[in-house]
Structures are given as C-alpha cells and as structure tokens.
Structure 1
Amino acid sequence: MEITDDRGFPAALAALSGITFPWQYDEEADEASAGNMDYEPYQEFDSAEETTDWIRSWTGNSELDGDAFRVFGQDGTGGLAALWLVREGPLTAQPVVFFGSEGEVGPVATSLGEFLWLLAGGVGPMEAVEFGTDSGVPNEELRAVAEKHSGIDPRTPAEVLAAAKAEFPDFAETVQSWCR
C-alpha cells in the first residue's frame, strides 16, 4: 500500500481544536476526576520531521520514519494521539492510535469518525487505552462535532473501543517489534 503524504488537517480535527477539554486531577484519589478527559487537540499535524523524531525516540529505533503516522493531539504527560496510515483511503478512514508517555500504547478508534464518537462519550485516547470506557461523561459540544463530522451513526465509547481492539488486536505487539 502506498502511504499518502497528505498533511491537510481534516475538518473534524479542525473543529476539535476550537474546543476546551476540561481536565482535573484529584491528588488525594490519585486519579482523574470523573467526566474529564486529558486531551489537548492540535491545530495542525506535527511535521514529518517532528513525527520521525518522535517515533524514533519513542521506539529507540533510528531506522523508522514517521510516514505512517499523523500526530494530531496529546495528553498532559506528552502521550500522543495519531492517525495510523495502514489502509487505502483518505486520512479520515485511518485508525486512531495512542502512544503514552510511559509506554502505554493501543488502538482507540477504527477511523476518525469513530474517534469523534469516543470523545463525544467523554473518553479521550489516553483514558481509552489506560482505563477503558467506563469513566466517560457525554459532552454535548463534542457530540455536535461528531454529528456534523463523523459521517456515521452514533456510537458509544465501549462500541468504538471494542471495534478498534477487534480490528487491530496486535497493534501493541507491532509497536513493540519496532522497539530497540
């Protein structure tokens, strides 16, 4: 498959960049406050050079380049959300994956449309990989973005994450095989 060099930011991601994502941390409970997600949307994809530097640093593998990823957001610790370019079709049809700052990794959605419904359900990429989907509190502003830009019927966070894990069950092992 030929990987696209498209770095045009999809309208759905541009719509997210105008939203403030609430994040609160309860130090006494040592956990995120219910209903909040740790996600900071970007206004554009990281450059090809930044993406290559990141994947090489994350994996310790200087032979990799970042061509298969389009990084579009992060959490407060530096974990990154990215489109993983593994199938034919536009950027919006690619799965969304998460690379945590402490080695957490996993698929979070089978497409950008599915990712929008994950967010609308109150679950961010870090929360999906680290905690699953039980902590999400639906967000009306994000639901409006999903309704406008997803191109698919509504999904629950549990449905989105289950579909991603079913389609990409070996993602973590694949990433591990890149590590040196």
Structure 2
Amino acid sequence: MEITEDRTFPAALAALTGIDFPWSDDPAEGSIDYEPYQEFESAQETTDWIQAWTGNKELTGDAFRTFGQDGTGGLAALWLVREGPLTAQPVVFFGSEGEVGPVATSLGEFLWLLAGGVGPQEAVEFGSDSGVPHAELRAVAEEHSGIEPRTPAEVLAAARAEFPDFAETVQSWCR
C-alpha cells in the first residue's frame, strides 16, 4: 500500500475545532479530555513525535496524521493502514504515559465516539462506559460521519476487533 502524502484537514475534524469540550473532575457530569487541532501537525513534527514516543530513530511519521491531544499531551492520530481517503483510516491514541490503543475504525466512527461523550484518552484508559452524550458533538457526527449512529461501545468494539494487535505492533517499534 502506498501511504498518502495528503495533509488536507478533513471537514469533520475542522468542525470539531469550534466546540468547547466538557471537562470535569466528576465523571458523572461528563468529561472529554480532548483538545482538537486546527490542522494536522507537520510531517517533521509527526516524525519527531513518533521517534520520541518509541525511542526508535528509524521510524518516520508517514503512517500518522496527528489531529488532537489530551491535557497531558497524549495524541489522537489517523493511522494510515488501508487504501482510501484519510477519513477511512482508523483513529488511534498514544498516551503520555505509554497508553496506546485503537479508538475507532474510521473518522466517522470517531465522531460517534465523541458524540457519546467518550474521547480518545478515555476510550483507551476507561472504555466506553465513561461518557455522557453531548448534543453539539452529536450534531457534528450527524453532519460529517456519513454513517448511522453508533454507541461508544459499538465504536470501541469494532476498533478493537479490527485492530486487536495495535498495542503489540506499537511495542515492536519501541527501542
């Protein structure tokens, strides 16, 4: 497969940049620890990040498009592993303390995860039960996902089923 050089920020991600993501220390109030970017990080920034995260200076960031972070610096990224546009690529999370995992099989699925009140960090660390649905994010998912509504549990189950070895793959890159 040829990795695309496309760094055009999808409309679905651009729609997230104007939303105030809820944050609370009380999970019952609903909290999404996610800060959307306004564009993808540059190829050099992405390479610097993956090399620092893995300790592997042989890697490049070509297989990733980072598009958001949590409050600790963990990154959400598109992982370019299949044919098709950026919106068809899975969304993965790399935490600041070594947490890693797939969170959605596509950008459309990711939008439904957010609509259910679950961010990428919460998905990897706590699973699908941590969210409180968010009306503004649901409106973005309805407009930009291109798929029928999904629950966070459905989104995470599909991602984990399709990419069960993602954490082991990332571990194999680490030095």
Q: TM-score, normalised on structure 1?
A: 0.96
C-alpha distance in structure 1 between counterparts of 2:79 and 2:28, whole Å: 29
Is 2:31 the partner of 1:42? no
Unaligned runs of 5+ in 1: 27-31
Question: SS at 2:130's partner residue?
Answer: coil
Counterpart-to-counterpart distance in 1, 2:79 and 2:142? 23
Structure 1 consecutive aligned stretches of length 4 or more whose deviation exceeds 2 Å: none
| Number of residue equivalences | 175
Aligned equivalent of 1:126, options 108, 121, 130:
121
Q: What does residue range 150-169 of structure 1 map to in structure 2 within 5 Å? A: 150-169=145-164
Counterpart in 1 of 2:17? 17
Deviation at 1:15, TM superposition (A): 0.1
User: Which AA in structure 1 matches 2:120?
Assistant: P
The 2-side partners of 1:34 and 1:114 are apart by: 23
After TM superposition, the structure 1 = structure 2 runs for residues 71-90 of structure 1, keeping only pairs within 5 Å, are 71-90=66-85
User: What is the CA-CA distance between 1:81 and the residue it aligns to?
Assistant: 0.1
Is 1:59–2:54 an aligned residue pair? Answer: yes
Q: Cα offset for 1:33?
A: 5.7
Residue pair 1:34, 1:135 contacting (<8 A) in 2 also: no
Q: Deviations over 1:20-44 (max 9, x none)?
A: 1121225xxxxx5641110000000
Query: In the alignment, residue 101 of structure 2 is paired with which amino acid?
Result: G
Shift of 1:96: 0.1
Alignment partner of 1:134: what SS? helix
- After superposition, the CA RMSD in angstroms is 0.8
Q: Which runs of 5+ in 2 are unaligned?
A: none
- Matching residue of 1:137: 132
TM-score, with length taken from structure 2: 0.98
